[in-house]
Amino acid sequence: MIEIDLEACNGCGICVKDCPLGVIDLEDKKAVVGEGCVECLTCQKVCPPAAVLVREAPLAPGVVLCEACPVACRVPPRRTGACRRFVNEKGRLVRSRPLLGYDEVQGEVGPFPRPEIATPLITAIGAGGTYPDYVPAPHIVTHRRGEVDVVTAVTEAPLSYSGLKLKIDTDAHLGDEGAVVTFEGRPVGMVETEEYGSKIIALGGVNRLTGKYGVAAARAVAAAANREAIRLKVRGGPGLEVQVGRPPVIDGARMGRMRVGCGSATAGLFAPFLKRAADEVIVLDAHITSLFTHHAAGRCLGSEPSGIELTYPKSTPGRYFGRAGQGWGATDVERPLDVIAAVDRAKIPVGFRLLVTETTGQKAALFEFGADGIFGEIEPTPEVAEAVAAIAETCQMSRVSAVYVGGAGGSARAGVTRYPLRLTKAVHDRRAVLTVGGAPVFILPGGGITFYVDVEKVRVGAFTWVPTPATVCPLEYTMTREDYEAMGGHQEAMKPFTALKPKEWNR
C-alpha cells in the first residue's frame, strides 16, 4: 500500500506528472493517492525527498497480482496495470486489446518486393562509377526472369553521407556515450548508445567526412567495412583493436564472452541452477543487478527474501540499477562483497552461502557467513560450478560486427533515372530493390534513401574510398522494366544481361 509522508512531501507534483495511471493528485500542496493505484512505485522512484512510502500488505479482495513484468502491479477490479496492457476482469487479467492476425496489419507492413526483383542481375562490385552525376550508371542490364523483364542498374557510388556502426560484444565499459573515438590520433567517431550486451561505436558520418579529418574517417570506415583490423582509441577510455568477425581486444585484453542478458534476465534464465547453488545469489551487472531471493524468479521457486540489502538503487523487487565501472560485471564494484549495504544478522545464520557472479559467468565467487559475522570466501561447490558453467556456456563468444550506413538518396540516383524522386519512391514502395554487392539492405523510413547493410554479407574489398573525402559503396537497383521505363530510366544505356563481355565482369 502506498502512503505519503506528509511531512516530507513538498508538493512539487513530479509524481502527479509521472504516475502512469494518473491516480495521484495534489491537495493543499500535498500528494494524495487515489483509487486505482496499482503500487507500481513510479511515484517512489521519482519523488525527490523520498516522501512515498510502501507498507507491506496482503492483496485486497478482488485485486490481482500481475506477473507479466517485474513491476508486479496489484490490479484492482475493472482497472488496468501501470502499462495499461492488462485489465482485471472478474479476477482474471486479460490483455486490453485483441490479438491481431497478420491480415489485419498487412496494410501497415506494405507489400514485399516481387520475387523477380528481389535480387540483382549483376552486382556493382567492380562496376566503376557515375560522374558527372547525370551520366548513366556504368552498367544497366535487362533480362527476363519468369514472365517479367527485369532491369538492374549498378554503380560504385562515392557517398559522403556514409559511416559505420561497429557493434562490439562486450560488457567492458568503453566510455560515456558521446565520447570521441580516434583513429591514428584523429577524431573519426564516437561512442554511441549501448545495445543489449554490446557497445556501439559510430565511425564517419557526413560531418566528419567533410571535416578536417575526413580522409582519416573515410579510411577507417572503408577498412573496417572491408573487415580489416583497425586500432581505435576512446578519448579518456581504452584502446581498441577491432576487426569484423573477430573478438574485440580492449586495452590488450581479448574479450571472451558477451552477456546472456542483464543481471535480472540471468536470475530468471538460470533460476533453478541458482536456487540449488546457494542461499542467496547476486548477479552483478552495470544495468540491472539482481538479488535472487527478492527477485520474481527466486520468489517463484519458493525463496524467501534473505536479510541482504544492496547499495544500488532499487528498480523493482530484487532488481537494482547498477553503476558502470571497471569492476565485476562492468560495475564499479571491484570486490564483490562491496555491493552489500546491510546484512540482517537475525535472518542470516552462520553457514549461509552467498554466490556472487557476473552475467557472463566469467567471474564468480562463493562466500559463507561465519560466526564472526562476516562473509568469507570458500571453494565453489559442485552446484555452484554447475550454475556458473550453465551461465557461461549460454553466453555467446564476443565478436565485432558492423553495419555500413549510406545515404543513396543523392546524386547517384541520376545514373539510374532522369527523375530521381521516382526512384526514391519506388525504393520505399518496394517496387525497386536496393542491394549492396548483392546483399539485402534495410531502408530507413522517411525521406531519401538511407540504408544499413551488414558488411559481412558483402564481398571483402568491395568498399573503397576517394579523397573527396567519401567512402565508395557498390549499389544495385533492381526493378521491373516496366517500372524502370515509367520512372524515366536511361533506356539508351540499357543492354541485355547476356551482352556483358567477360572482361566487363573483371573490371
Would you tell me which residues interact with ligand SF4 (CB under 6 A)?
2, 4, 9-15, 19, 21, 23-24, 31, 33, 37-43, 47, 49, 51-52, 66, 68-69, 71-73, 81-83, 85-86
CA 188, 194, 200, 206: dihedral to nearest 10 degrees? -50
Q: How far is the CB of 18 from ligand SF4 (least distance, A)?
A: 7
Q: How far is the CB of 302 from ligand SF4 (least distance, A)?
A: 21
Which CB, 28 or 372, lies closer to ligand SF4? 28
Q: How far is the CB of 86 from ligand SF4 (least distance, A)?
A: 5
Does residue 85 contact residue 94 with C-beta atoms inside 8 Å?
no
Rounded distance between C-alpha atoms, residue 187 and residue 179, angstroms? 10
Which CB, 50 or 371, lies closer to ligand SF4? 50
Nearest to 51 by CA among 10, 2, 9, 1: 9
| Backbone phi, psi, residue 297, to 5° | -65, -45
Helix, strand, coil shares of the chain, percent, nearest 5, are 20, 35, 45
Q: How far is the CB of 369 from ligand SF4 (least distance, A)?
A: 33
Which CB, 9 or 403, lies closer to ligand SF4? 9
Q: How far is the CB of 6 from ligand SF4 (least distance, A)?
A: 9
Which CB, 4 or 258, lies closer to ligand SF4? 4
Q: How far is the CB of 79 from ligand SF4 (least distance, A)?
A: 10
Output DSSP code: residue 261.
S
Which CB, 38 or 282, lies closer to ligand SF4? 38
Which CB, 49 or 91, lies closer to ligand SF4? 49
Radius of gyration of the chain (CA): 29
Q: For ligand SF4, which residue has the nearest CB? A: 81
| Backbone phi, psi, residue 55, to 5° | -105, 125
> Given the C-alpha cell 568491395, which residue does it identify?
462
Query: E-assigned strands of 218-373?
Result: 230-234, 239-242, 249-250, 253-254, 280-284, 288-291, 308-310, 314-316, 319-321, 340-343, 353-358, 364-369
Q: CA distances (Å), 401 to each of 213, 280, 421, in order?
A: 24, 37, 33
Looking at residue 439, its amino acid is A
Using the CB atoms, write b or e for 427-454: b if 16+ within 10 Å. Answer: bbebbbbbbbbbbebebeeeebbbbebb
Which CB, 52 or 432, lies closer to ligand SF4? 52
Does residue 208 contact residue 187 with C-beta atoms inside 8 Å?
yes
Which CB, 4 or 462, lies closer to ligand SF4? 4
Q: How far is the CB of 78 from ligand SF4 (least distance, A)?
A: 14
Q: How far is the CB of 263 from ligand SF4 (least distance, A)?
A: 18
